[in-house]
Amino acid sequence: MEKQETRGYKLEDIIGSPLMISSDKNTRIYGLNVKGRAVDISAYSESETRKGYFHKVEVEYLPSSMYLISGSCTCESFRYYGMPCKHMLKVRNVYIKNKDKLNKE
């Protein structure tokens, strides 16, 4: 399990079907939970250095302010710095771009 966290997840390790796949195919949203003004997004975003491996990304986001309230990612950058990484921002941006489509579900 530790090994998988480090290297990332292969698509066949990911359970369920995505609600949305980004146009460049490297970010996949699996879960969406609106709670009040905030939205929780569960997603996987592909590693840029290890193609075929995805990081698990959780983002809590406040649409009215563009602000990331909290979140996590399994990538090295987030685990080392504890700051929002490019995957978390990517997931937020994919959500923003596809918000109307996603919220129609």
**Which positions lie near Zn ion, rule CB under 5 A?**
73, 75, 78, 85, 87
Sort strands 20-21 and 27-35 into parallel, antiparallel or unpaired: antiparallel
Query: Minimum CB separation from Zn ion for residue 87, in Å?
Result: 3
Nearest to 48 by CA among 85, 92, 93, 95: 85
Nearer to Zn ion by Cβ, of 77 and 98: the residue is 77
Nearer to Zn ion by Cβ, of 59 and 73: the residue is 73
**CB 8 within 8 Å of CB 50:** yes
Query: Minimum CB separation from Zn ion for residue 88, in Å?
Result: 6
Nearer to Zn ion by Cβ, of 53 and 78: the residue is 78
Nearest to 27 by CA among 77, 76, 73, 67: 73
Query: Minimum CB separation from Zn ion for residue 100, in Å?
Result: 26
